[in-house]
């Protein structure tokens, strides 16, 4: 319950930044500072699609985030306790359990993240360029979460729901880095007394720890996020796999292509993780008292 609350809260509050990030990630043009700046990208969305355009794909994002964080925290805490009981070193237990938990959640939630990406990109000028550069205006292929799921399965097969799962599994290392960093930082606050005043200071500590650990993890694994978004998009410019995607980005866009949207991502992930961990720890404290 604590994980679901934390994941849902951060997703809703910071969703527009996620949408802008994904739009920038799949833009195959060579990076241009002004064109790819977060404010300029957000203005383009508002100008062409209205403010509602910033929230496309929110439903699968909330469900996916709630399921991912809720399931992740349950598996993470249970596996960590088992490993600690077997006297496995704490740092190793945190890394192993976070990676295993992350891999399980990828298998369960990848279809939701793929649908979220498709909904975020549809109806945009960018999607028009990627799909039919010289053709008539595209009609929105998906009317919502359920319609998108049925349409993708009908047109592309069930396995299409798992496009991008290879880089997603590789991104499990993201969670490992994040939680090892978080647990290490959290250890410095463990000796505090649990008075009301100390709880307030602990909440600030959770905020800082969550933001710091997420920033470290997200920065080190960001190219994998770009590759995953490229594989999940609906486009005639198909990538045959991770290696093909890496090669095309390198040849056509250079090193900068692997870091498109990284500024927007940095603006999003730190407060997102801070909100998630503050809500998670606060709800957990309330439930255990």
Q: Where are the alpha helices (DSSP H) in the chain?
A: 2-25, 38-49, 58-85, 90-121, 125-131, 145-156, 165-170, 172-186, 196-232, 242-253, 262-288
Q: Which residue did the predictor score with more confidence, 270 or 50?
A: 50
Secondary structure letter of residue 122 according to DSSP: T
Question: What pLDDT sits at residue 197?
Answer: 44
Contact (Cβ atoms closer than 8 angstroms) between residue 101 and residue 42: no
Residue 94's closest CA among 109, 108, 73? 73
Summary mean pLDDT of the chain: 78
- For the stretch 208-262, pLDDT in tens is 766 777 777 788 889 999 999 999 987 656 788 899 999 999 999 999 999 998 8
Question: What pLDDT sits at residue 242?
Answer: 92
Torsion, Cα 186 191 197 201, to 10 degrees, reads -20
As given in the structure block, the two tokens for residue 147 are 């319609």
Contact (Cβ atoms closer than 8 angstroms) between residue 97 and residue 75: yes
Question: Worst-scoring range by mean pLDDT, 76-90, 187-201, 266-280?
Answer: 187-201
Question: What pLDDT sits at residue 196?
Answer: 42
Query: Domain range spanning residue 89?
Result: 2-288
What are the b/e assignments for 111-121, b being 16+ CB within 10 Å? bbbbbbbbbbb
Q: Which residue did the predictor score with more confidence, 128 or 81?
A: 81
Question: What pLDDT sits at residue 110?
Answer: 94
Phi, psi of 140, rounded to the nearest 5 degrees: -60, 120
Contact (Cβ atoms closer than 8 angstroms) between residue 48 and residue 125: yes
- For the stretch 154-171, pLDDT in tens is 999 999 999 999 998 888
Question: What pLDDT sits at residue 106?
Answer: 86
Dist. CA 147–CA 165, nearest whole Å: 21
- For the stretch 18-36, pLDDT in tens is 999 999 998 877 666 545 5
For 148, other C-beta atoms within 10 Å of its C-beta total 25
Q: What burial class does residue 69 get, using C-beta atoms within 10 Å of its C-beta: 0-12 exposed, 13-18 middle, 19+ buried?
A: buried
Count how many domains the chain has. 1
* pLDDT of 49 above 80: yes
CATH number for 30:
1.50.40.10
For 123, other C-beta atoms within 10 Å of its C-beta total 19
């Amino acid at each position: 319950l604590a994980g679901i609350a934390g994941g849902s809260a951060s997703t809703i509050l910071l969703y527009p930044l996620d949408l802008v990030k994904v739009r920038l990630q799949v833009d195959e043009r060579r990076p241009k500072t002004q064109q790819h700046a977060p404010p300029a990208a957000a203005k383009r969305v508002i100008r062409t699609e209205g403010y509602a355009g910033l929230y496309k794909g929110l439903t699968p994002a909330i469900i996916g985030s709630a399921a991912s964080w809720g399931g992740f925290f349950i598996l993470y805490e249970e596996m960590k306790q088992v490993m600690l009981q077997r006297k496995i070193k704490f740092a190793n237990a945190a890394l192993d359990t976070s990676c295993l938990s992350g891999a399980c959640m990828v298998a369960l939630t990848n279809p939701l993240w793929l649908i979220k990406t498709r909904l975020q990109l549809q109806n945009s000028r960018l999607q028009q360029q990627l799909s039919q550069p010289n053709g008539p205006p595209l009609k929105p292929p998906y009317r919502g979460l359920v319609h998108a799921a049925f349409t993708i399965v009908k047109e592309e097969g069930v396995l299409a729901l798992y496009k991008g799962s290879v880089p997603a599994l590789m991104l499990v290392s993201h969670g490992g880095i994040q939680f090892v960093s978080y647990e290490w930082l959290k250890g410095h606050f463990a000796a505090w007394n649990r008075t009301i005043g100390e709880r307030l200071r602990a909440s600030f500590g959770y905020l800082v720890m969550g933001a710091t650990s997420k920033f470290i993890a997200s920065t080190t694994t960001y190219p994998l996020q770009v590759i995953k978004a490229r594989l999940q998009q609906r486009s005639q410019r198909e990538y045959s796999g991770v290696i093909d995607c890496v090669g095309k980005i390198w040849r056509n866009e250079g090193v900068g292509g692997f870091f498109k949207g990284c500024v927007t991502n940095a603006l999003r992930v730190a407060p997102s993780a801070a909100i998630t961990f503050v809500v998670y720890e606060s709800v957990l404290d309330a439930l255990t008292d």
